Amino acid sequence: MEQFRITEHPILEVPELEMIGFYFNGKYLEARKGEMISSALIANGIDVFGHHHKDASAQGIFCANGQCAKCTVIANGVAVKSCMTEVRENMIVQSAEGLPVLPEDVEPIEFHPLKELACDVLIIGGGPAGISAAIELGKQGIETLLIDDKNRLGGKLVLQTHKFFGSEEDSRAGTRGHHIGEILAKELSTYWYVCTWLNSTALFVFSDQKVGILKDGIYRLVSPKRILNAAGAREKFLKFPGNKLARIYGAGAFQTLVNRDLVRPTRRLFIIGGGNVGLIAAYHALQAGIEVVGLAEAMPSCGGYKVHADKLQRFGVPIYTSHSIQSANGDETVESITIVQVNDKFEPVDGTQKSFACDTILIAVGLDSLSEFTLEAEAAGIPVDSAGDALEIAEASSAMFNGKIAGLKIAKAIKGDSVEDIPQSWYAKAEVLKAHPGAIKSYQDIDENKESVFPVIHCLQEIPCNPCTTVCPTKSINTEDGSLMALPRYTGKCIGCGKCLLICPGLAITLVDYRKDRDNPTVTIAYEIMNMAVKTGDQRELCDIEAKSLGSFEVTQVQDFPKQQMQLVRFRVPAAIAKQVAGFRVQEQSVSAAMERTVIIEQTPDDAMICLCERVTVGQVRQLIRKGINDLNQIKAITRAGMGPCGAKTCEVLIKSLLREEGIPVTDVVPNTKRPVFIEVPLAKFPDGGEA
């Protein structure tokens, strides 16, 4: 039977698969040993895991992170979250149809005393910020407990197959994210004072200054003197008709499935949101051999880095700016998407609808800092700091740096003056690293009559990134004013080594070489989607920075750089277009063709779900808002929005946006009261601190 697995990947190592057998709804299937049930099902082409008890609509993977319960299945008789439960040999898995039946297991339970421990610092979250902070605390000899809910350190770095922006010195720019995660984890392991708990989820910071943690399925209480919240962020969702269909989820879930679990959850993907998260997800999809039908962004331009957006368009993924999703169409799962142009007030412009056939829609419309642990610690009176996305949404390069600052700051608070002062320059650097993209400028004017070989830098938007300047052996690339944010410019003396091409995370440098032929120079382009192979002799459509076609040309050479997991692809082109060439198309144009007939479904925006867990519609909440209710607690009491398994993690933001739409100022809105526990946990976990 066909398995939807990624068997070759240009960047990630695909391990030998050890297969085991299990059953889904009576059917024998194969799973990879050690994988989660959800990934085993997806690998077997199953994307509907059950049907909701309220409206019998299909449910499947959503967060892939244990936060919601949409992926619930019945495994050996017990309702479990399939994304957090490992598949076992001969496991009997059934789809969750309606409310699960509690197993009739009445054996008495033996209880062990609950284990408690104390530490100086508890760091919640082992991503770039948490590890960086832990390293600083480790250096200072401070007893630190670092917890992470995954089975390895690195947080979202683990999922990042692209090279990082930033500077080499401060944030390992030019190195791939998943390698940075490994490097950081290795460095951390040399500090004995830092204890790391993997598979450990913080459930709540209680008023008696104890933190409840579920470690490897066993409940423990930890009393820290200080807490660092480095728990990251959560993705925002959108309210649109059809948003309850299975196969609509966030970019984080997608990256987990594709880059961690190496399964292929989709053949044809459409992405909503042109921030870096959406742009990178599209790139990851291409690397995983998935067709990216298109990407829509409501703003007039993408919020993510221009080099990312340009790169995608050159590869053949259309980006629809000033477009929003009108509806997801399908019976149980996504079958197509309808997008619509929006005006400057973000209102849909009728008649501009376009539909595309796709089987999955990713929602990548921004992140919200995960603030609950900070608020809980404050309420409990435990000194607390935040770092990384939990502090402020920014790139991982920034998270590493402000994690380092937070670690040192906490060390200083504990040990006083014996800890060195944090240099003022660090704060300035932290500011730069988290900076949003700046001005877009024009190409540098290079006189090709005077140069025989030179780089063309297609990086025209100010972003905090400079590895091209540090890698150049002749120091011929420098930013305009020497700062990290300014644009890199070529200043002469190129030797044609190609190092800048290989290190640029945006694949935004080409090399024009006139040394062999004055009329038909060679243009070199960096490439890293080797699953879509390019060979010498192939005809490829070359394009300029914004994907405008420059005609078809023959590949003259493909040079492998295994260490960098890159290729340099060469073409000979007429001198007139040499400087314009920025890349070549890899995805067929037919992939992104719109459907002949636009799909308009009968649902209105009020039919969209605002709370997926409890199946509450936008219309139900809008009606209450119009009755004058602006208290999320009261909306919850009446509709149950926010009372489901995810704990208002998805709907709170949507309800707030609806209140804004209805003209209620944010300051008047009464937020939800946050209560334990962070994720749902079986009752039997709490009394017992014994070994499972």
Partner 1 sequence: MKNYDVIIIGAGSIGVPTAMYLAEKKMKVLVLDGEHGPGQQNNKKAIGGIRATHSDFGKISVCLRSIEILKNWQEERGDDIGWMSNGYSYPAYNKEDADTLKALMKIQLGFGLNIKWLSPEEYNEIVPGINMDGLLGSTYSEEDGSCSPLLTSSSLYFHALKAGVEFHFQEQVTGFETQGNRIMKVLTTRDSYSCSMVVNAAGNHARDIGMLLGLDIPVFPDNHEAGITEPVARFFGPMVIDMRKEPGSANFYFYQNNEGQVVFCITPDPAILGIDNRSTSEFLPLCSKRMLKVYPRLRYLKVRRTWRGQYPMTPDGFPIVGRIQEVENMIQGVGMCGQGFMLGPGMGELISRICTDSLSSDDQRILQSFDPYRDFSGEEKFK
Q: Identify the residue among 174, 212, 265, 505 touching partner 1 (CB under 8 A).
A: 212
Residues 422, 427: Cα–Cα separation, whole Å:
8
Q: Identify the residue among 151, 474, 589, 634 touching partner 1 (CB under 8 A).
A: 634
Asked if residues 152 and 261 have their Cβ atoms less than 8 Å apart, the reply is no
438 binds partner 1 (CB under 8 A): no
CA angle (633 as vertex; 627, 636 as ends), nearest 5: 80
Q: Identify the residue among 100, 383, 496, 605 touching partner 1 (CB under 8 A).
A: 100
CB of 150 to partner 1, least distance (A): 20
Q: What residues does 121 pair with on adjacent strands?
A: 144, 226
561 binds partner 1 (CB under 8 A): no
* Binding flags for partner 1, 636-665, as an x/- string (CB under 8 A): xxx----x-x-x------------------
CB of 580 to partner 1, least distance (A): 58
CB of 690 to partner 1, least distance (A): 12
| Cβ count near 491 (within 10 Å) | 13
112 binds partner 1 (CB under 8 A): no
CA angle (103 as vertex; 97, 107 as ends), nearest 5: 170
Q: Identify the residue among 190, 633, 661, 666 touching partner 1 (CB under 8 A).
A: 633
666 binds partner 1 (CB under 8 A): no
Asked if residues 410 and 382 have their Cβ atoms less than 8 Å apart, the reply is no
Residues 299, 159: Cα–Cα separation, whole Å:
27
683 binds partner 1 (CB under 8 A): yes
Q: With CB under 8 A, what is the number of residues at the site for partner 1?
A: 49
684 binds partner 1 (CB under 8 A): yes
117 binds partner 1 (CB under 8 A): no
Buried b (16+ CB within 10 A) or exposed e, 595-627: eeebbeeebebebbbbbbbbbbbbebbbebbee
Q: Report residue 636 as tokens.
A: 């919850």
Q: With helix as H, strand as E and coil as C, how does 618-680 read?
A: HHHHHHHHHCCCCEHHHHHHHHCCCCCCCCCCCHHHHHHHHHHHCCCCHHHCECCCCCCCCCC
Buried b (16+ CB within 10 A) or exposed e, 336-347: bbbbbbbeeeee
Q: Identify the residue among 299, 435, 664, 677 touching partner 1 (CB under 8 A).
A: 677
| Interacting residues of 477 by C-beta distance below 8 A, sequence separation 6+ | 455, 457, 468, 469, 488, 489, 490, 491, 500
204 binds partner 1 (CB under 8 A): yes
Name which of 488 and 642 has its Cβ closer to partner 1: 642
Name which of 181 and 644 has its Cβ closer to partner 1: 644
CB of 75 to partner 1, least distance (A): 11
Name which of 78 and 413 has its Cβ closer to partner 1: 78
DSSP three-state, residue 194: strand
Buried b (16+ CB within 10 A) or exposed e, 294-316: bbbbbeeebbbbbbbbbbbbbbb
Instruction: With contacts defined by CB under 8 A, name the span among 108-116, 191-199, 274-282, 310-318 that binds partner 1.
Output: 108-116
CB of 684 to partner 1, least distance (A): 4
Which 325-384 residues touch partner 1, going by CB under 8 A?
379-380
Residues that bind partner 1 (CB under 8 A): 53, 69, 78-79, 98-109, 111, 114, 204, 206-208, 210, 212, 219, 221, 379-380, 629, 631, 633-634, 636-638, 643, 645, 647, 670, 675-677, 680-684, 686-687
